[in-house]
Amino acid sequence: MLDTTNRFAYNEDHEMFRDTVRKVFAQHLEPHLEQHEKDGIVPREVWKAVGEAGLLCPTVKEENGGLGLDFGFNCVLCEELSYIGSAAGFTLQSDITANYFERLGSDEQRAKYLPGMVSGDIITAIAMTEPGAGSDLQGIRTTAVEDGNHLVINGSKTYITNGQNADCVIVVAKTDPTLGAKGTSLVLVDADTPGFERGRNLDKIGQHSADTSELFFNDCRVPKTNILGQEGRGFIHLMEELPQERLGIAVGAQASAQRAFDEAVNFTKDRKAFGQTVFEFQNTKFTLADLKAKLQVGWAHLDWAISRHLNGELTTDEASAAKLWHTDLQWEACDAALQLHGGAGYMNEYLIARLWRDARVTRIFGGTNEIMKEVISRSI
């Protein structure tokens, strides 16, 4: 269990929410983690249970069917989800897509999607990455060409979280390919739209319980009213959401690093070698001491970043730095903890193996850590 005794980003309401999150996860998520890993997806009934408990999209305003809470509640859920070792796509919906709908959506769009997103009846995804365009979103090739009162979408997306479960996808497409980034728009595509097809549930190194998919758009016709936000400002809309998205990644990474450390402590204090516990070897104690010091710094920094964001002060370069630092720490902690498990760490029956596998992608998604350094350097 995460120790939140010395945290300063949260108040009593956040901690009461945390208690609810733990109880719901203990009932509906933790007992089924291995099955979710095998199936490559978290069933919709789990989404529904989490939604009914009031844990999805907590920042959505009451008039849109939500609780109207601050982003700290999202962070609590993200910490607990990462700490138990689940890759469920709840945080993508709560931290990212809900904000797009609430901030950019028309009255009709908000009414159509947000209440269902809060309840777990509607699952969403955002389709940015393409086979030939990852961190460089200006290189996307999917088009949404005007045809009367409709847009005709053609193209493909890949590595899309919630791709198999999604009822609605926010598609990043070029509505005017001649204008480059300025011709990019966000377009809503419902899963039952003719011409929309899901590809395979991708076979990944880790995060197996997250349904990550290829999506295809073949003459997919949607009304022009399906544009989310302003036409041609899609790239700007995406950039506006990056600080929160990258902060969310940092939150999950820190919690995962803590769980890896805790697993290593428990294992080394129990496992014996050469007449003593593995923990008693100087190498073990020094490795864990080094990690504990970095985790202490990490939690303090994370609370600073969360507090900055809650006050509307977190900048893009600060969020990028948080994503860079905490995901690097996550990998260091998971790799060191696996090493301290010895051969057992290479066995999938131990949680550390899953934590290690799942950690590898966090330095890639949300913008690679190399891109984070580029973003940070621009502020120097």
- Is the CATH number 1.10.3720.10 carried by domain 236-377? no
CATH architecture of 125-232: Beta Barrel (2.40)
The pLDDT of 93-100, averaged and rounded, is 96
- Is the CATH number 1.10.540.10 carried by domain 12-122? yes
Separation of alpha carbons 151 and 145, rounded Å: 5
Q: Is 80 exceeded by the pLDDT of residue 206? A: yes
Catalytic one of 80, 245, 263, 318: 245
- CB crowding 295-315: b at 16 or more within 10 Å, else e: beebbebbbebbebbeeeebe
Which residues sit opposite 174 in a β-bridge?
A: 143, 184
Separation of alpha carbons 257 and 241, rounded Å: 25
- CB crowding 56-77: b at 16 or more within 10 Å, else e: bbbbbeeebbbbebebbbbbbb
Helix, strand, coil percent content, the chain, rounded in steps of 5: 55, 15, 25
Q: Is 90 exceeded by the pLDDT of residue 171? A: yes
pLDDT by residue (tens digit) across 220-250? 999 999 999 999 999 999 989 889 999 999 9
The pLDDT of 245-259, averaged and rounded, is 98
The pTM assigned to this predicted structure is 0.95
Query: What ranges do the domains of the chain cover?
Result: 12-122, 125-232, 236-377
pLDDT at 181: 77
Does residue 245 have an active-site annotation? yes
pLDDT band at residue 135 using 50, 70 and 90 as cut-offs = low
pLDDT at 357: 97
Q: Are 198 and 351 in contact (CB under 8 A)?
A: no
